[in-house]
Amino acid sequence: MGTRIFNYIKYIIECIGEVIYPYENKCVICEKYIEEDLICKECLNAIKHCSDVKIIEKGKNCFSAFPTCYYSGIMMELILNLKYKGDFKSGEVIANLMCRKAKEININTDIITFVPSSKKSYKKRGYNQSEYLARNISKSINIPMVHCLKKNINTKDQIGLNRIERWLNVKDSFKVYNERYVENKRILLIDDVLTTGATSFYCANELKKSGAKEIFILTAAKSDV
């Protein structure tokens, strides 16, 4: 609870600071004073964009995933800042890039949802980074965000696990709890990093079993095991 309150207060203070000092913008990466919002042109241009479409397949089911960038360099730093430091300005930069990607791929969707975190992880951080990204993307592209997935098992962290272990680790750990919002809908599923695709696949598969018409996956970055 303490961490959650701290991160919320931090976010409010950052918003107030932007109102009081609107012209003192600093790059979230190099901290250089800039006229641009949030990130300087040099750091922005150094981000490696990804044009790949990853087909995540298991058994008879497969889903298309669209990574925005590669998980390296500045993009990695932005994601780590959001995920572990509660840096919502870095999160804004990521969300803006993901919005551009969403418009670029031009997928027709009815709702946006996100990969849920466990209660343990949410309690520790005070927020879910994928939910934060989904909320920002929803506002930008004017598609409603819906809470419809939950993680019902506290799994190990995927970091350090090999490909097979990652798939086994998250199997059967996600459930749909708002089926009325899912049935016959085209859904955009948001996550931060795509590695093996196991987490995204099992979330998408649950949505499909609950009657979703189509599921597309949009991630901030693509990594390799």
- State pLDDT tens for residues 18-36: 555 554 689 999 999 998 7
Decide if pLDDT at 1 tops 80.
no
User: Taking Cα atoms as reference points, which of 185, 194, 184, 186 lies closest to residue 218?
Assistant: 194
CA distance 196 to 189: 16
Decide if pLDDT at 120 tops 90.
no
User: Which domains, ranges and CATH numbers included, belong to the chain?
Assistant: 49-222 (3.40.50.2020)
- pTM (predicted TM-score): 0.87
| Residue found under tokens 């964009």 | 49
Own/partner pairs for 153-156, CB < 8 Å, 24+ apart?
153/118, 154/118, 154/119, 154/120, 154/121, 155/118
Mean pLDDT in the chain? 90
Please compute the mean of the pLDDT values over residues 139-163 and round it to a whole number: 88
| Residue found under tokens 């939910």 | 131
81: left (phi over 0), alpha (psi -120 to 50) or beta: alpha
Query: What pLDDT was estimated at residue 23?
Result: 46
The residues pairing with 69 across neighbouring beta strands, listed in sequence order, are 49, 221
Residues above pLDDT 90, as percent of the chain: 72
How many angstroms separate the most distant Cα atoms in the chain? 55
CA distance 179 to 182: 5
CA distance 151 to 206: 11
* 41-to-22, 33, 148, 175 alpha-carbon distances in Å: 19, 11, 37, 41
Decide if pLDDT at 140 tops 80.
yes
